[in-house]
Amino acid sequence: MNQHDPFTDFQRLSTEADNLARDLAEFRQELNRVLEQNAELMIENKHLRGRLNELAPSTETAPQPEMLPSRRNLEKLYDAGYHICNMMYGARRENNEPCAFCTNIIYGNNKSRHKK
């Protein structure tokens, strides 16, 4: 039978425990470094998002000015199915198709108010 020397077993276990303690200390240092870096990046991200919000154009649109009565009348004619543009003034719009010239007269460059 092969008998183990208790002193040799103790030295081996002691060496393994020392190696494990060293690895654990290295892991703790690496974990601290990563946590510090994460905290720094979170702060930087917060500042950058704030800066981006300052620089980005506001998604809120400015209130649109009220349409003039003459344009409202033209809009009513257009919605009734008639052209109001110079090219086809008074002609019936077939199948209520949109006309870029008419909408430009009513809304100018701001076509967001156009009814679809």
Q: How far apart are CA 41 and CA 34, in angstroms?
A: 10
pLDDT for 43 equals 93
pLDDT for 13 equals 95
| Interval 40-94: pLDDT, tens | 999 999 999 988 888 876 655 556 678 888 888 888 989 998 998 888 888 889 8
pLDDT for 67 equals 81
Reduced to 3 states (helix: H, G, I; strand: E, B; else coil), residue 98 is: coil
What's the chain's Rg over C-alpha atoms? 38
Count other Cβ atoms within 10 Å, centred on residue 84: 22
pLDDT for 116 equals 43
- The runs of H, that is alpha helices, within 4-63 are 6-55
pLDDT for 62 equals 58
- What is the mean predicted confidence (pLDDT) over 25-47? 94
